[in-house]
């Protein structure tokens, strides 16, 4: 299993997959470092728009590298 992580000023997003940058996403994590610096509360289910934005950035990055 592989993980790809992106970090913005306020959030950290991690996407877990069987094959790095390809295939189905197995699990996602999203943490808001402004209110949760210890990353206790995974907001992935509560913030689908933010998840979509980060996932698109990862997909775009992978396409430019292959």
Percentage of the chain with pLDDT > 90?
A: 62
For 8-45, b/e burial (b = at least 16 CB within 10 A) is eeebbbbbebeeeeeeeeeebbbbbeeeeeeeeeebbe
CATH no. for residue 29? 3.30.1120.10
pTM tops 0.75, yes or no: yes
φ, ψ of residue 8 in degrees (nearest 5): -110, -175
What is the arrangement of strands in the sheet containing 22-32, beginning at the earlier edge strand?
2-7, 11-19, 22-32
Domain enclosing residue 51, as ranges: 2-65
Distance CA 37, CA 24 (A): 28
The tally of domains found in the chain comes to 1
> Has residue 7 got a pLDDT over 90?
yes
* Residue-level pLDDT at 21: 60
Name the more confident of 13 and 58: 13
């Amino acid at each position: 299993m592989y993980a790809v992580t992106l970090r913005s000023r306020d959030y950290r997003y991690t996407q877990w997959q069987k094959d790095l940058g390809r295939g189905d996403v197995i699990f996602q994590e999203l943490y808001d470092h402004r209110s949760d610096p210890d990353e206790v509360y995974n907001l992935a289910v509560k913030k689908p728009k933010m998840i979509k934005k980060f996932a698109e950035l990862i997909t775009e990055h992978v396409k430019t590298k292959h």
